[in-house]
Amino acid sequence: VGHLYLVPTPIGNLEDITLRAKRILTEADYIAAEDTRTSGILLEKIGVHNHMISFHKYNSKQRAPELIKILRSGKDIAEISDAGMPVISDPGYILVQECIKNDIPVVPLPGPSAFATALIASGFDAQPFTYYGFLPRKSSEQGEFFEKMAQSSATSIFYEAPHRLKKTLKTLSKYIARNRQIVCARELTKIHEEFIRGSIEEVQDYFAENDPRGEFVILVSPNTEQEKTLSWSELIDQVNELVDQD
Ligand code: SAM
């Protein structure tokens, strides 16, 4: 059987393609790409010329069996997404699952991903962290995630589109303390790379003056204040303890 290679591609700066990624993309029999047009431009720039097969979230269920057939015939497939790591908020998961079921070796290559790049420069503790990917778009559905982040002692990371950023920060501000630190990492590895750091209030003020443009990763600092809300039973236990002390 062939191999499924999971190949990360740059999230902005073309120099971030690894030597191994370039070699695998050149040597594989096929490249399964999320968007063959976008990837065509990237591959051209890095000097890779190879056959591409389109594989995205809308055709992945039908395409996966076809790709499995190719892999079973002994051919290698390199899977890429538009940018960064395949599978991380991008298609790929279904194919990986199918390969595992079919005893086809899955070979992941290390490389760029926006969330890890943002995390290491955030200044927040990276152990533990929780990665949420994209949150639901509606404020009403974001609440349960923001509640978790508000109470979490892990650094929380999520992706957001620029045109939704202000609204999402406003919703977030209803769930976290005013002085809770957040970081918005913008345009990582690109010319306009920027880190907007501060309390949720300060960051909101910044975006009131500067319209969000480009790509963003948002990080919420761990809750070190232990401002965890107690469940009713925990509350009753605590009250009973106090009463006992008296
Ligand atoms: N697979 C990618 C990865 O490994 O990070 C993520 C793909 S997801 C469809 C695209 C989102 O990732 C963007 O909307 C943005 O939130 C984030 N992103 C990608 N590149 C970025 C960059 N250069 N700077 C900041 N965020 C980025």
Point out the ligand 1 atom lying closest to the alpha carbon of residue 88: 1
pLDDT at res. 226: 57
pLDDT attached to residue 230: 52
Q: How does pLDDT run across 62-83, given as a tens digit for each residue? A: 999 999 999 999 999 999 999 9
* pLDDT the model gives residue 57: 86
For residue 113, report the distance from its CA to the centre of ligand 1, in Å: 7
In short, whether 187's Cβ falls inside 6 Å of ligand 1 is yes
CA-CA distances (angstroms) from residue 38 to 16, 25, 139, 187? 17, 15, 31, 18
Q: Which atom of ligand 1 is nearest to the CA of 161?
A: 14
Q: Is the CB of 79 under 6 A from ligand 1?
A: no
Q: What ipTM did this prediction achieve?
A: 0.99
Cα dihedral value 171, 174, 177, 181, nearest 10: 10
| Percentage of the chain exceeding pLDDT 90 | 89
DSSP state of 110: P
Ligand 1 centroid – CA 216 distance (Å)? 7
The pick from 17, 216, 218 for probing ligand 1's pocket by mutation, whose C-beta has the most ligand atoms within 8 angstroms, reads: 216
Q: pLDDT digit string (tens) for 149-158?
A: 999 999 999 9
pTM of the model: 0.91
Q: Tokens 């152990």 map to which residue?
A: 127
Looking at the DSSP bridge assignments, the partners of residue 156 are 130, 220
Q: How confident is the model over 184-206, as a mean pLDDT?
A: 98
